Amino acid sequence: MPGLASNVISRRAAVLLHDLFMAGLAWVLAVWVRHDFSLTLNQPGLLQLTPWIIAAQGLILWWTGAYRGLWRFASVADLWNIMRGALFGVLTIALGLFLFNRLEGIPRSILLLYPVFLVMLLGAPRQMYRLWKDHRFNLLDRAERKRVLLLGAGRSGESLARDMLHGEEYLPVGFLDDNPELKGAKIHGVPLLGSLDDLPDVVRRKGVDVIVIAMPSATNAQMQRAVSLCEQTMLPFRTLPRLRDLVSGQSALQALKEVALEDLLNRETVSLDWQAISSGLTGKTVLITGGGGSIGAELCRQVARLGVSALLIYERSEFNLYSIEMELRGKFPNLNLQACLGDVCDANAVQHLLRQHRPEVIFHAAAYKHVPMLENQVREAVRNNVLGTRTLVEAAERHGCATFVLISTDKAVNPTNVMGASKRIAEILGQALGVRSSMRLITVRFGNVLGSAGSVVPLFQKQIAAGGPVTVTHPEITRFFMTIPEACQLIMQASVIGKGGEIYVLDMGKPVSIAYLAEQMIRLSGKSPGKDIKIIYTGLRPGEKLYEELFHEQEKLTPTPHPKILLAQCRGCDWPSLSEYLEELALACDDYDEPRLRALVKRMVPELNESPDGRPSNVVPLALT
């Protein structure tokens, strides 16, 4: 490291000496040209003033940042810095000479010629050095560098090609782009060789080693097509992150990454009204239940960035609570963070927590969600997902909470399982209390999230790592997917839109085939589906649907101020009847009477259809009377 530092200092000193010499030379040339090339060295304004010119110009160049740029990467920005330095330099020199001797004996034309010569003398050596280095890299390292074909000739592709040409590892040999207007074009000397459909032929002709997908704004379908074409070549391929994930100031080459599942399944970039979200959360005390789970933990991360007065995390898993607490304390050392171990079903603990901290906003993410496991444990599903929600809602209202956000699931729509039915009852509770309470009680409903605990993606990852087989329940099964950060951001957006009693449905895009998901995950691991790793269809599990729905046919969807959030018009319910049902559920839980619980759930959610084929029925839900 000391040797590296000394080399950097030596190079900077050499650049400084070069520029000071050129500043003096520019002044000499300006005076020489002004005197028709017949100047003698003892004339006033030459030797006497040159040292002062050099000192003043050196300080100005340092101030304008002319020494921060590397000659190896000299660019228009560096030329602009030189031009600024020359302009400010001549103005400083003119002012100094005016104060010193009123510019006596100094022709005004010298002050015009000097910055022109200075820009030429400082800019030309830098550009020549860059051209020499680029030429040297292209000649000496061409055989050793990996030959890269770039898919996409837009701004990202151009930036990537430029970085590669300046580096020593990759050599761009061409672009492919479907834009017909770019036919025959060259970017930084790299030719456009055709459209994406020409990929196999171009790979053979150009001896390509690596393919890079430079389309960070590509749609889901465009990304899938590009990946499919890359897979046919059997060559390694990389991609740039989505536009929303690119780090500001990071070069395109540094951002290259393996193609991930999110690149194939993610949808269009979601734009949020962060000003509205901040106004709803900044300076508030926020409670997140289930804060150690996948959704809850990401909500904690998002909320912690918004300058809340205090963040309370309520979690029953000791390890999960410890993990998210340590993460947040490391990233946000000034955050007022309270990590509370407890269960939403524990009424005394919930009352104590809310009485002590008085949260103004609550995100209720604590829930049991494993469909097959809960099918035979209806008591636990009801106790946690229904009665735990009631306990928390009643305590929140009692202790002055202003906003309560209940996180629901698409499995609550025409449920075919106990888990979905329990979440539907929680939705009914939220609707009923939302229109009766001064507290804004909002429900947000969405589908699966990529990588959440217990979801299909981590299961497939483990199966692929073990060499297979990958198990899919049915060849026709589909699910809605979104990323965890996107889901949490839309939850926060819905929390500031709602007035109370609404059910907001997040636009999940198009459903994704689970079989397709399995095939893509196998391919992304570098293996071939059916050949290296087999896919086995095991049949639908108890309570599992072939497809999920985001809203019931009796819920009329209306738009909201956010294009990715829709309002599902609530189905009515009778509060006295609902209260009686909830009391009966509580008594049945205390008695551990599962048959009674199952019957009560069926009465409260008559559209529940636990049919063996997993297809939802067309039963019209009855009003609770």
DSSP 482-534: EEHHHHHHHHHHHHHH--SS-EEEE---S-EEHHHHHHHHHHHTT--BTTTB-
List of long-range contacts for 528-536, beta carbons under 8 Å, 24+ apart = 532/468, 533/463, 533/464, 533/467, 533/468, 533/469, 533/470, 534/468, 534/469, 534/470, 535/469, 535/470, 535/471, 535/472, 536/469, 536/470, 536/471, 536/472
For the chain, state the CA radius of gyration: 33
Q: Is the peptide bond before 469 cis (omega within 30 degrees of 0)?
A: yes
Query: Side chain identity at 622, as an amino acid letter?
Result: L
pLDDT, position 588: 95
DSSP 203-269: HHHHT--EEEE--TT--HHHHHHHHHHHHHHT--EEEPPPGGGPPTT--TTTT-EE--HHHHH--SP
Q: In this predicted model, what pLDDT tens digit does every residue of 268-307 receive, in sequence order?
A: 556 677 788 888 888 999 999 999 998 899 999 999 988 8
Q: Is the pLDDT of residue 131 over 90?
A: no
HEC profile for 146-179? EEEEEECCCHHHHHHHHHHHHCCCEEEEEEECCC
Higher-confidence residue: 32 or 599? 599
HEC profile for 441-477? EEEEEECEEECCCCCHHHHHHHHHHCCCCEEECCCCC
Strands (DSSP E) along 331-374, which ranges? Answer: 337-341, 361-364
Q: Is the pLDDT of residue 625 over 50?
A: no
Higher-confidence residue: 59 or 180? 180
HEC profile for 230-246? HHHHCCCEEECCCHHHC
Residue indicated by tokens 């100047």 = 39
Give me the catalytic one of 284, 369, 411, 564: 411
pLDDT, position 3: 44
Q: In this predicted model, what pLDDT tens digit does every residue of 49-72 receive, in sequence order?
A: 667 777 777 677 776 665 554 444
Q: Identify which of 391, 300, 322, 305 has the alpha carbon closest to the alpha carbon of residue 352.
A: 391
Highest mean pLDDT of the ranges 93-102, 150-159, 177-186, 365-374: 365-374
Q: Is the pLDDT of residue 383 over 90?
A: yes
8 A C-beta contact, residue 291 and residue 363: no
Query: Side chain identity at 67, as an amino acid letter?
Result: Y
pLDDT, position 422: 94
What CA–CA distances, in Å, run from 128 to 75, 115, 257, 570?
12, 20, 33, 71
pLDDT, position 79: 66
DSSP type of residue 133: H
pLDDT band at 482 (very low <50, low <70, confident <90, very high): confident
Mean pLDDT of the chain: 78
Highest mean pLDDT of the ranges 15-29, 184-198, 417-431: 417-431
**C-beta atoms surrounding 238 within 10 Å:** 16
pLDDT, position 95: 77
For range 359-387, the mean pLDDT: 93
545 annotated active-site: no
HEC profile for 577-625? HHHHHHHHHHHHHHHCCHHHHHHHHHHHCCCCCCCCCCCCCCCCCCCCC
pLDDT, position 434: 78
Query: Side chain identity at 224, as an amino acid letter?
Result: Q
DSSP type of residue 363: E
pLDDT, position 155: 82
DSSP 46-77: STTTHHHHHHHHHHHHHHHTTTTS-GGG--HH
8 A C-beta contact, residue 330 and residue 442: no
**Residues whose CB is less than 8 angstroms from the CB of residue 90 and which lie 6 or more positions away in sequence, other chains included:** 111, 114, 115
What does residue 293 show for φ and ψ, rounded to 5 degrees? -80, 180
Q: In this predicted model, what pLDDT tens digit does every residue of 136-170 receive, in sequence order?
A: 555 445 556 788 899 988 888 888 888 787 777 78
pLDDT band at 393 (very low <50, low <70, confident <90, very high): very high
Q: In the chain, what are the domains? A: 2-138 (no CATH), 146-259 (3.40.50.720), 274-448+482-507+550-604 (3.40.50.720)
Q: Is the pLDDT of residue 622 over 60?
A: no
Tokens read off for 345: 């079903």
Higher-confidence residue: 498 or 596? 596
Tokens read off for 203: 């790979």
**C-beta atoms surrounding 612 within 10 Å:** 10
pLDDT band at 532 (very low <50, low <70, confident <90, very high): confident
Query: Side chain identity at 426, as an amino acid letter?
Result: A
Burial bucket for residue 102 (CB in 10 Å: 0-12, 13-18, 19+): exposed
Higher-confidence residue: 236 or 400? 400
Strands 146-151 and 210-213: parallel
Strands (DSSP E) along 85-167, which ranges? Answer: 146-151
pLDDT, position 38: 63
For range 218-232, the mean pLDDT: 80
Q: Is the pLDDT of residue 5 over 50?
A: no
For range 386-412, the mean pLDDT: 93
**Residues whose CB is less than 8 angstroms from the CB of residue 30 and which lie 6 or more positions away in sequence, other chains included:** 110, 113, 114, 117
Order the strands of the 503-506 sheet from edge to edge.
337-341, 310-315, 285-289, 361-364, 403-409, 440-446, 503-506, 565-568, 557-559
pLDDT band at 10 (very low <50, low <70, confident <90, very high): low
For range 325-346, the mean pLDDT: 94
pLDDT, position 620: 37
Q: Identify which of 26, 21, 13 has the alpha carbon closest to the alpha carbon of residue 86.
A: 26
CA distance 206 to 149: 9
pLDDT band at 332 (very low <50, low <70, confident <90, very high): very high
Q: Is the pLDDT of residue 244 over 50?
A: no
Higher-confidence residue: 392 or 492? 392
Of the listed ranges 261-265, 420-424, 511-515, the least confidently predicted one is 261-265
pLDDT, position 102: 65
Query: Side chain identity at 44, as an amino acid letter?
Result: P
**Angle CA 450–452–453, to nearest 5:** 150
Q: Is the pLDDT of residue 419 over 70?
A: yes
DSSP SS3 for 355 = helix
For range 104-119, the mean pLDDT: 73
